[in-house]
Chains A and B, each alone.
Chain A
Amino acid sequence: MSLFSVLSVGASGMAAQRQRAELLVENLANAETTRTPEGGPYRRKDAVFESATVESPFATVFGAQLEAMGGVAVSEIVVDQSEPERRYQPGHPDADKDGYVAFPKINTAEDMVDLMGASRGYEANVSAISAVKDMIQRSIDLMR
Chain B
Amino acid sequence: MVDRISGQLERYMDLLSSRQKLVASNIANADTPGYHTRDIDFQREFLQSAGLEPQVSEVDGLRTKNDGNNVSLDREARLLSENALRFNVASQLMRSRLRGVRSAIQEGRGA
Q: Do A and B come from one complex?
A: yes
Q: A64-B53, A131-B81 are in contact. Are A121 and B25 (CB under 8 A)?
A: no
Interface string of B16-55 (1 = CB under 8 A from A): 1110111111011111110100000000000000000101
CA distance A120 to B20 in the complex (A): 19
- In the bound complex, residues from chain B placing their C-beta under 8 Å from that of A50 are 32
Determine whether the beta carbon of A138 is less than 8 Å from that of B28: no
CA distance A131 to B70 in the complex (A): 23
- In the bound complex, residues from chain A placing their C-beta under 8 Å from that of B20 are 3, 6, 131-132, 135
B101 contacts A by Cβ under 8 Å: no
A29 contacts B by Cβ under 8 Å: no
Q: A134-B84, A141-B95 are in contact. Are A124 and B31 (CB under 8 A)?
A: no
Tell me whether chain A's interface is mostly helix, strand or loop, or mixed.
helix
CA distance A117 to B73 in the complex (A): 10
CA distance A17 to B55 in the complex (A): 29
Chain B, interface size category, equals 20 to 34
Tell me whether chain B's interface is mostly helix, strand or loop, or mixed.
helix
Q: How far is the CB of B62 from chain A (nearest CB, A)?
A: 16
Determine whether the beta carbon of A66 is less than 8 Å from that of B18: yes
Counting chain A CB atoms within 10 Å of each CB, the highest count among B22, B30, B31 belongs to B31
Return the contact of B95 from the options A69, A131, A144 (Cβ within 8 A): A144
Chain A, interface size category, equals 35 or more
Within 8 A of B (CB), among A114-136: 117-118, 120-121, 124-125, 127-129, 131-132, 134-135
B residues at A contact (CB < 8 Å): 16-18, 20-25, 27-33, 35, 53, 55-56, 73, 76-77, 80-81, 83-84, 87-88, 91, 94-95, 98
27 residue pairs of the A-B complex, CB under 8 angstroms, read A1-B21, A9-B24, A10-B28, A13-B24, A13-B30, A16-B28, A49-B33, A66-B18, A70-B21, A70-B28, A71-B25, A71-B28, A72-B28, A121-B27, A121-B30, A124-B30, A124-B77, A125-B27, A128-B23, A128-B24, A128-B27, A128-B28, A132-B20, A134-B88, A138-B87, A138-B88, A141-B91
